[in-house]
Structure 1
């Protein structure tokens, strides 16, 4: 793994942890309490959002690399 990749991963994890810490502080300050079912729903929503975004990005890059986005008939570009 290159140094740039490691820095990007570290920055992403740090941003994620800081965002979680900020949300936790906000909830504590406003007096919000959640049951275990709420935490489970919160985690499942986050995991589903992450899985959806990863899946869509994978489809995008796979389609571009396999040539599915290329034109089949370039003669139609003449108008």
Structure 2
């Protein structure tokens, strides 16, 4: 038996039961993907024979390094806050009584 045969039938997506809005979103996203790929191919073919100066490569390297540093830093903060318990839901403390009890 496979894991799919043991799955809850309600959890398995049914393509025939998808609403019209779901199909619309799916079609729009696929059209956007196709348009992006078309623009990438046209842009790549139009840029043949052009040279990138050394300053362009330096800017590209700095951008990649900066983006990686931000990504690593944010992921580190996510793991740090998860391990230290900062992601736990807040707990309501009872009000203190005037007698110090």
Q: What TM-score results when the alignment is normalised by the length of structure 2?
A: 0.42
Counterpart among 70, 89, 93 of residue 52 in structure 1: 70
Q: RMSD of aligned C-alpha atoms? A: 2.2
Bigger helix fraction: 1
Aligned length: 49
Which residue matches 2:86?
68
* Higher RCO (CA 8 Å, separation ≥ 6 residues): 1
**1:42 to 2:60 alignment:** yes
Runs of 4+ with deviation above 3 angstroms: none
Structure 2 residues without counterparts, runs of 5 or longer:
1-43, 94-101
Residues 32-41 or 55-64, more deviating: 32-41
Structure 1 residues without counterparts, runs of 5 or longer:
1-25
1:74 positional shift = 6.3
Q: What TM-score results when the alignment is normalised by the length of structure 1?
A: 0.53
